[in-house]
A = this chain, B = another copy of it.
Amino acid sequence: MVSKLLKNRLSARIKSTKRSSIREMFRLTENSDIISFAGGLPDPNLFPAKIIEKATVSVLSTDSKRILQYGASEGYVPLKQELIKRLIQKEKIQLTEEELIITTGSQQGLDIIAKIFLNYEDIVIVEEPSYLGGLMAFKSYGAKFIGIPCDENGMRVEIINNKLKNLAKHEINRIKFVYIVPDFQNPGGTTLSLERRKKLIELAEKYDFLIVEDTPYKELRYSGKDIPSLFSLAPQGRVITLCSFSKLLCPGFRLGYTFSSKDIVFQLATGKQSIDLCTPPFIQAILAKILENNELEKHIQNLISVYGKKEKIMLNSLNKHMLPLKIPTIEWTKVEGGLFLWIKLPEYIDTEKMIMKAIEKKVAYVPGTDFYHDGSVKNCMRLNFSSSTFEQIDRGIKRLAEVIKSEKR
């Protein structure tokens, strides 16, 4: 793709950047009769277009001079105020305006965090598997990784100690943060237990690294009980929390927010200035109005009800179509929320090699390899259950079981 002439000009970081397989898959499966479990897409049938229209007309008629102008890099103040109110109610988290910044999607939060913390070859501790967008953002600033395996309770944090205790001081100093999706992880679907949250904070204090917790799915719990965020459990300044409205309202707004100590948020705002000046005030104002009208909470309750049902259907379909294959080593996450579950297949299956066969059979998933910082694991896949219909989920899992069945041992 790249001409020789161009190759000599590109930066080292972009030459080592692999394009997101998810975003490529997105192009491949768009507008076709493929049942795609590949994206991380919310169900477009649930987008609250009417609520958005009402809020847009309202803010344009009362406040157009302000919301169509440039805004502060830190974010639109009325939105920040609504978010702060909401965090007290929902998470018992008390913040000042200076401790929170609006970002252009939480992906931008990851990019800015990487930008302000990572020198070339600094170290980030990540889950195995980890969120692809996080890995890509950190890699693009030259990060190295220490990977920590996960089980059904999320990252096995006790392993951090084993990995770090023999490192030299100068190596420990290069560890800038642990990056973790503690609730309904992408891609694993797992949730970090309370004990592990406490242990992780203890280790962060001991080795003096920060914790970056990414929580786009936290509010989408379909069963079980909410676990307090790392932010709420840790001393001030230890945790940076990323949140997103992509799953709670719509991805098309690209609205997220990040909170931490005032010091850290100040640096994030400095980093953001050269990235996009500010997140669109127009969209920030629409969301602020929706929150002010108290129209989001009912919508989220609806999402929980529909996605919870989809999750059950996918788990039932897996039981129905996968168990008869009589492959003893096949496993999947017993998820309680979020949008994803993770399937571990026998070692003889390479899901990256299998994907084209699956697409021929009109079903798509994301091969697990890309979620590993070192690409070491080949026999896993991520399935999304939010974007397909009830009926598609069962039919797609049936097709997938046939594809898996036809793989040679």
Contacts and interface: CB of A to CB of B under 8 A. Distances in A.
Interface of A: 1-3, 5-6, 9-14, 17, 19-20, 23, 26-27, 39-42, 44-45, 47, 49, 52-53, 56-57, 60-61, 64-73, 104-105, 107-108, 110-111, 115-120, 122, 133, 136-137, 139-141, 176, 210, 237, 246, 250-254, 263-264, 266-267, 270-271, 273-283
Given A60-B53, A65-B44, A68-B52, A105 B277 contact: yes
A177 to B, nearest CB: 9
A68 to B, nearest CB: 4
Given A23-B277, A107-B277, A9 B117 contact: yes
A49 B104 CA distance: 23
A137 B71 contact: no
A250 B154 CA distance: 45
Nearest to A209: B9
Contact of A266 (B1, B176, B274): B1
Copy total for this chain:
2
Contacts of A14: 115-117, 267, 270-271
Contacts of A120: 120
Nearest to A110: B274
Given A1-B263, A2-B263, A39-B70, A23 B273 contact: yes
Nearest to A1: B266
Nearest to A173: B8
Given A45-B65, A67-B252, 20 more contacts: A1-B266, A3-B237, A6-B237, A9-B176, A11-B115, A12-B119, A26-B72, A27-B72, A41-B70, A42-B69, A44-B65, A70-B246, A104-B254, A105-B277, A133-B274, A133-B277, A252-B281, A253-B282, A254-B276, A275-B275
